[in-house]
Structure 1
Amino acid sequence: MDKVFHSIYASHIKQFIQLKQKLGFKYSSGIFYLNKIDLFAIERGDTSAGITKDFADKWADKKPNESDFNRYNRIGFLLQLSSYIRDLGIESYVPKLPPIPHHTFIPYVYSKEQIDAIFAACDGLRLKITHNHSCLFCMPLLLRLLYSTGLRIGEAVALKNEDVNLEDNYLLVRDSKNGKERIIPISASLSSVCKEYRWHRDRLPVVQKNSEYFFIKANGMKCGQGVNRWFKKCLDLAGILHGTTESPRMHDLRHTFAVTALATMAESGIDLYVSLPILSNYLGHQSIGATNHYVRLTASMFPDLIRDVDMVCLNVFPKYRNYEAN
């Protein structure tokens, strides 16, 4: 934790963050909002040991052009902090959360033909001017890995050489969104492509001793920036329109994996709700409710495949307000 807090609540904020992180949470969003709470308390000159109702009411005021989701999150983190302070035996006002904002986001799911076109476009990409700081070298494998495993792009580029086991065919995901490690089994075919990439990568004319990451640029540095730019180029070449808030993104490869996995299980006669916890862990979701959205999406896209699923069960799990719109 790099943030330094200075308000009357500084020690409580620091202790609360440490508690969350010891429980296994990254709590990066929490640190961001708690820092804002700390600055807000300094601006107001608050001296109360606990959160006052006036503080909570002013904090809950909607800001100009602020989304309902951001306001909901802001109030939620103040609620958590105030509840923690009360648990310490200090009188503190706990604000009431507003209604959960209605989320209308629907992920884009690529068709098999679109995926094939994206891969073909990526394989045909070439640099107009040769330079060694481009991530184009790893793009063909990176896109195939995202599609085949449902990894988030941040998780994929954070993989280190020691995290990629191509003998037993699994990936160890350490740097996940929710701060929890998980093991991802991979297919023999994907492992074979990874081995081919690694063979060529290890023969790049750069010093490999300092390259601890699996996906690297031609100069041996970690791959990251530039990936989205190349992906958009692939979409252009594949004839897939993009550029609006509803148009496809790289992250939708993850959504496509989830829906495809559920459709494949249904086609094989596997009970979706037996397999749902497995897929939830595989994707690194914090709750089955988040994964359950993919069942609803699969139901709408492949009605014939899951005709034997009791549609009443689609609402067994509570509707999760945001299943990775970002």
Structure 2
Amino acid sequence: MTAPLRRALADYLTIRRALGFKLVARAEALLGQFVDYLDAHQAGTVTIEHAVAWATLPADADPWWWALRLSPVRGFATYLHSLDPSAQVPPARLIPAQHRRATPHLYSDADLAALLAAAGRISRPLPAATYQTLLGLLAVTGMRVGEAISLDRADLDPDAGLLQVREGKFGKSRLLPLHPSTVTALAGYLRTRDQLLPQPATPALLISAKGNRLRYNRVWETVHRLIHNAGLDSVGPAGGPPRIHDLRHSFAVATVLGWYRDGADVQAQLPRLSTYLGHTDPKHTYWYLSAAPELLALAEQRLETHRARRP
């Protein structure tokens, strides 16, 4: 019954991309799941009732998650309505919710070592090497997961020690200087990769067991399984498990902690960190740092020292 809806969804996604819009993988996956839901309920088009019923799954989720699920459905429903007036468009703010940022878990060196060891225990050698490299790269660069899996092999310049992030979030590209040990680790991964799979099906830097580019949803599932296997389930804030995105928070906090301990001018360095992380505004970087008690204590200590020196 939903074959026309599936064709309409494919056309909608094609038109969005042709117009220059960049649908994130999660939004595209959600729309596919919504069409599956309509199929299961033998619905021939989008109705507000079906949209809300699907968006509010699971029933015990936070309302911000329901609102996030409904958002791409509104866009698709608006497109459908232009073709079929019987398609209903859910009103804006139908599910009012304010996103609450999760308290990040700051990975310790021991946490990261346990996570890398868990990745090394993956049964197949290529995925084991890939996930160890991915986790290590996220930890030492603070890259977004989507940026890391979008890297091509040609984006790495080992001689210059640079990694190019192309078309990251908000369409921004940037160059990331790498520590020599990171360049060495990446070179080791590429040698292993070439031995196990000399001719992958993709130019991607990080590849799956079949030689394809990693998919975000699969990476999320695998890493959170590794978090469980590493025994880190209960060490997150408020009893929740650490998240893969917390590696980015941990990098930012560790960088600023190092500046404080070295006596550097942190305020002068923060714009550089914002650029390195790919933030559009330094205020986003400040939020990354607000959840670290040790960092706040060092900042307070420096402020008190500054006050004591004033006449």
SS at match of 1:144: helix
Aligned to 1:22: 19
Per the TM alignment, residue 81 of structure 1 is displaced from its structure 2 partner at its CA by: 5.2
Match of 1:172 among 157, 164, 169: 164
Counterpart Cα distance in 2 of 1:59 and 1:126 = 42
Q: Are 1:303 and 2:296 an aligned pair?
A: yes
CA distance 1:251–1:38, shift in 2 (3 Å): closer
Supply the RMSD in Å over aligned alpha carbons.
Answer: 5.0
Partner of 1:100: 97
Gaps of 5+ in 2: 304-311
Asked whether 1:73 is paired with 2:73, we answer: no
What secondary structure sits across from 1:65 in the alignment?
Answer: coil
* CA displacement 1:98-117 (0-9 Å, x = unmatched): 332453621110234544x4
Map 1:136-151; keep pairs closer than 5 Å. Answer: 136-138=128-130, 141-151=133-143
Higher helix fraction: Structure 1 or Structure 2?
2
| Residue identity matched to 1:271 | Q
1:166 Cα offset (Å): 1.0
Q: Partner residue of 1:269?
A: 265
Cα gap change, 1:182/1:78 in structure 2, threshold over 3 Å: closer, same or farther?
same
Q: 2:242 aligns with which of 227, 248, 258?
A: 248
One-letter amino acid of the structure 2 residue matched with residue 235 of structure 1: A
Letter in 2 for 1:190: S
Equivalent residue in structure 1 for 2:173, among 163, 175, 182: 182
Q: Confirm or deny: 8 A CA contact 1:173 1:184 kept in the other structure.
A: yes
1:6 partner letter: L
Deviating more after overlay: 219-228 vs 243-252: 219-228
Deviations 1:162-189 (A, max 9, x none): 121112222233586x584633413342
> Structure 1 residues 265 and 86 mapped into 2: Cα distance closer, same or farther (>3 Å)?
farther
Aligned partners of 1:243 and 1:281: how far apart in 2? 30
CA deviation after TM superposition for structure 1 residue 148, in Å: 0.7
2:145 and 2:245 in contact (8 A); partners too: yes
1:93 and 1:160, CA in 2 relative to 1: closer, same or farther beyond 3 A? closer
Partner of 2:291, secondary structure, is: helix
Cα pair distance change 1:184/1:74, threshold 3 Å: same
C-alpha distance in 2 between matches for 1:202 and 1:258: 30
2:52 and 2:224 map into 1 onto residues whose CA distance is: 38
Distance in 2, Cα, partners of 1:93 & 1:132 = 46
Asked if residue 6 in structure 1 is aligned to residue 5 in structure 2, the reply is yes
The one-letter code of the counterpart of 2:250 is T
From 133, 148, 157, the counterpart of 1:156 = 148
Note the C-alpha offset of 1:14.
3.8
- 2:309 alignment partner in structure 1: none
- 1:78 CA drift (Å): 4.5
Alignment: residue pair count: 283
Q: 1:151 to 1:172 in 2, by over 3 A?
A: same
1:258 and 2:252 equivalent?
yes
Which structure 1 residue ranges, 5 or more long, are not aligned? Answer: 310-326
Residue 161 of structure 1: how far off its partner (Å): 1.9
Q: Deviations over 1:188-213 (max 9, x none)?
A: 42344236515743773x56244744
Q: CA separation of 1:124/1:182 partners in 2, compared to 1, >3 Å: closer, same or farther?
A: closer
> How has the CA–CA distance of structure 1 residues 290 and 22 changed in structure 2, closer, same or farther, with 3 Å as cutoff?
farther
Decide whether the 8 Å contact of 1:60 with 1:74 is kept in 2: no
Structure-2 separation of matches of 1:229 and 1:102 = 22
User: So what's the TM-score if we normalise by structure 1?
Assistant: 0.60
Cα pair 2:130 2:189 within 8 Å, conserved = no
Normalised to the residue count of structure 2, the TM-score between the two structures is 0.63
Aligned-partner SS, 2:230: helix
Please say if residues 164 and 170 of structure 1, whose CA atoms lie closer than 8 Å, have aligned partners that are also in contact.
yes
Residue of structure 2 in register with 1:214 after alignment:
205
- Fraction of identical pairs, as percent: 18
1:83, distance to aligned residue in structure 2 (A): 6.7
